Structure 1
Amino acid sequence: MSPSSPTPQSLSLILDTNVVLDMLIFDDPLTRALSEALSADQLTAWADRDTLGELERVLTFRDFPRAGVNRHEVFERYRARVRLAPEPTGPVPEVPRCRDRSDQKFLELAARTGAHWLVSKDRQVLCMADRRGLPFDILSPRQASQRLARP
């Protein structure tokens, strides 16, 4: 964890789209601790117009709606769980470039909001976890859940 470890109540994070889907649609056991902590207001999750737009777009893919999944309801449930970051008015904080340009928005949002963690399943993002100079930790859902379980 970063040098000044936040308490769970002050922990803020960014969730990539696949993690959100795992939490709200697929009920992945690896995301349950995150989901429970968000529901209990023990974590603050941030989103912005771009990350919410990606979720909304992904929910229109042919794979959805799955049986019993209401795309609009899933989107609104997530929207109700996150804080909406203000649009940047100045330069976006410098962060390393992700190989997958479509994931850059998550890195920039994490830096812009001062998030402690960026939780992702994307290999292109996860391989950046050991980059120097990142002002946040990049974690898989398993790693994030393990950190939440620590006393």
Structure 2
Amino acid sequence: MCAVIDTNVLMDWLVFRNPGCAPLVEALEAGRFRWIATQAMRDELAHVLGRGVASTYSPDRAVIDEAWTRWAHFVEPPLPTLVPRLRCTDRDDQKYIDLALHGARWLITRDRAVLKLGKRAAALGVVFTTPERWTPPEA
């Protein structure tokens, strides 16, 4: 089973060390699901970090890069014609939605615009949820 993890959740995990991400990280490290991502998602996180958004937290770029190298399974973005479309009001989030609908069981996010699409995504077999509400797969 695969999950797409958005930038806000990655920041919570890798920069802010939010304890609400612990079950997600533990399940990932135990191999209970696969984190799938595209290069555009990696680039977005680098852009956010480059803006200095988390500068007071002194993000450790080596730790962040190591997490991506170790855990992220890079895939090509799906062609729009192959994905059922759920339109997000925030264009920057569309890549997460499209990838989740193309090959994931979950989209882990905190973004309200994405979470609003949850019922429609569930009808397509994908759960849009926060890290705290996410239920890890059985071992």
Listed as ranges, the matches of 1:22-61 within 5 Å are 22-61=12-51
Q: SS state of the match for residue 148, structure 1?
A: coil
Q: Which residue of 1 aligns with 2:116?
A: 127
Matched, 1:84 2:57: no
List runs of 5+ in structure 2 lacking aligned partners.
Answer: none
CA contact (8 A) 1:98 1:104 kept: yes
**Following TM superposition, by how much is the alpha carbon of 1:67 offset from its aligned partner in structure 2, in angstroms?**
4.8
More helix by share: 2
Q: SS state of the match for residue 106, structure 1?
A: helix
Q: SS state of the match for residue 73, structure 2?
A: strand
Listed as ranges, the matches of 1:1-151 within 5 Å are 11-88=1-78, 91-112=81-102, 114-131=103-120, 133-144=123-134, 147-148=135-136
Identity of aligned residues (%): 30
Q: Distance in 2 between matches of 1:72 and 1:66?
A: 17
When the two structures are aligned, how many residues end up with a matched partner?
138
List runs of 5+ in structure 1 lacking aligned partners.
Answer: 1-10
CA contact (8 A) 1:17 1:55 kept: yes
RMSD: 2.2
Q: Distance in 2 between matches of 1:92 and 1:57?
A: 28
1:60-119 per-residue CA deviation (whole Å, 9 max, x = no partner) reads: 12234445522254133223211001344683412210111110000011122x200001
User: Scaled by the length of structure 2, what TM-score is found?
Assistant: 0.86
